[in-house]
Chain A
Amino acid sequence: MRYKSQKVAYWFFALSMLLLTLQLVYGFIMGFAHMGYDNLHSFIPFNTARAVHTNLLVVWLLSGFMGAAYYIIPEEAENELVSVKLAYVQLISLAVVGVIAIIGYHFNYWEGRKFLEIPRPLDYLVVVNVLTFLGLILVTLFMGKKRTTTSLVLSMGLLFAALLYLPGMIWFDNQTMDSFFRWWVVHLWVEGVWELIMGGILAYLLIKITGVDREVIEKWLYVIVGLTFISGVLGTGHHYYYIGTPKYWLIIGGIFSALEPLAFLGMALFAVAMYRKGEKRHPNKIALSWTLGTSIISFVGAGLLGMAHTLPSVNMYTHGTLVTAMHGHLAFWGAYGMIVLAIISYTLPNLTGRKRYDNVNGVLAFWLSNIGMIGMTAAFAAAGVAQVYMERIMGVDFGDVQKEIQVHFLVLVLCATLFSVGIGLFIYEFVKYGLPNDEALEINEND
């Protein structure tokens, strides 16, 4: 840690870890419900559990991204954060909005659009919150000494993510139009601007961890985010196949979304190449695992498993089945979950001055969570593929099919347990060795 204000990051990471824990609890509720044990139905029906699970996911990731920005921007811009106090206000208000939204979901208070369930009055609070965050980051950046490509790409990603939240707030009488703009948020986030955020954080980590020259890394960063937008923007068409939109989207969406894995492949090759090229290796082995891990698992989850159902002829049958859940889990985990855990693993020793670079808990956390998540993906895949064949091709009734595939949810819950043990170990390390202290300002030779 070189700047005192970087400490704010810790509290954003702490909020992030708290929400991740809660997310998993609701995941188990849904896993059991799919298995036939919906004992909580009267208090927490499935739609409540789902809204809580996915919204907590989005908020813990955003909180992680914000923490990353509060750590990275002061260092890259060589400037203390302009107002630490406002950053704490922003943190607390983020937590408060999140908690109100989640309580509301237990009382049928929501907007009822997948991923954008937050009710309208709270939407405005989210907007104010995000504007405060962006204000702090951008002013710090532009008043600082340096504007590096890494910090610009990261800030651009955060800015666009905020702008793209707005189309999700428009209301239409036509379900197709609603859905059309819902994808401007959901798709253009995960297959567009969030990739900028991921790319920015990844570039920062690679510069720090591998010691490869910044100019080389940042050049490739531009190429990767270029590939992202060139394929991902028109790739939105893969959600416009079957929702009442013209047929030309089948061709445009099919072609451009099939190119999207290139950006993820680029990221994986780039991270591995930089790792092999780097001469000044950083001692933080755990951060290195997460950094290489995120680049590779995101390619598998988003790239390969996205490709698996993105062609119109396949999507006709898999659209809206558990196959989508299979892809959703590994993609979100690999690309965004792991990048947040990577930046936490890198920054924590720097914030605390405790050199926990390589230890059993940390290594186990990495492997158990990844093996668990890959197992969960396989369980969803088995359930999803069976569902597609039985329901969509053979014409067996939905309810009958669900009974046949219940057993895959037993596997899901078992693998989810392994995953949760991994996450538990990560959080244990975070809590036990976490708290930042100012002495860390002096011991920063490895930052």
Chain B
Amino acid sequence: MLSKGQARAFFLGGTAVTFAVFLGLSWNSLSTKVPKQTHAENITPQVIRGKHLWESNNCMGCHTIMGEGAYYAPELTKVVERRGDNYIKAALMSKTPWSPRGRKMVAYGFSEEEANDLVAFFTWIGNTDLNGFPAKPKYKTTQNF
């Protein structure tokens, strides 16, 4: 039967090995692969300003992006493709809570410039290679505009 010393060696050894592999793979991903897959060269100052607005207002507290966030409001990775710039700007600049389908967004009333920054951020996100996410639906039913 396994002794306590062997059990400890299993714990320490296993942890050390998997952690080392994990760090190696993370380095490999972040140093070259991620910048290429996400087109890091397209992250302009405008995109960064958009990301700041995204974060300082905690949009992730209602929406998901790249599938991460909250489940109360639409997933926004492909929002530019789905709705187009003008629709998005209308939602962002609205002075009353945006809610064409009944559920309310916060009425941010952003300026035209801020709205453009956010659109730039969504455009950049929409062009990243997410290994196929979000999957195209198998059927086209009531996609409404």
Contacts and interface: CB of A to CB of B under 8 A. Distances in A.
Contacts of A400: 101, 142, 144
A41 B128 CA distance: 33
The A interface is mostly helix, strand or loop, or mixed, namely helix
A403 B101 CA distance: 9
A135 interface: no
Interface residues of B, number: 73
A113 B64 CA distance: 11
Contacts of A242: 66-67, 130-133
A21 interface: no
A226 B134 CA distance: 35
Contacts of B97: 41
Interface string A77-118: 000000000000000000000000000000010111110010
A175 B103 contact: no
B15 A112 contact: no
B74 interface: yes
B58 interface: yes
A11 interface: no
A363 interface: no
A410 interface: no
Contacts, number: 220
A113 B60 contact: yes
Contacts of B65: 175
Contact of A398 (B3, B75, B132, B133): B75
A113 B55 contact: yes
A407 B76 CA distance: 25
Interface residues of A, number: 75
Contact of B43 (A149, A173, A395): A173
A152 to B, nearest CB: 10
A102 to B, nearest CB: 13
B131 A241 contact: yes
B21 A234 contact: yes
B71 A46 contact: no
A47 B18 contact: no
B137 A322 contact: no
A219 interface: yes
B109 interface: no
Interface string B57-70: 11111101111111
16 contacts: A36-B103, A46-B61, A47-B62, A149-B8, A219-B3, A219-B7, A242-B67, A244-B34, A246-B28, A320-B69, A398-B73, A398-B75, A399-B74, A400-B101, A400-B142, A403-B102
Given A180-B26, A244-B38, 13 more contacts: A36-B103, A45-B61, A176-B34, A230-B18, A233-B15, A233-B18, A233-B19, A319-B67, A320-B67, A320-B75, A395-B143, A396-B143, A399-B100
Interface of A: 30, 33-34, 36, 38, 41, 45-48, 50-51, 108, 110-114, 117, 149, 173-177, 179-180, 182, 215, 218-220, 222-223, 225-226, 229-230, 233-234, 236, 240-250, 252, 256, 316-317, 319-322, 324-325, 387, 391-400, 402-403
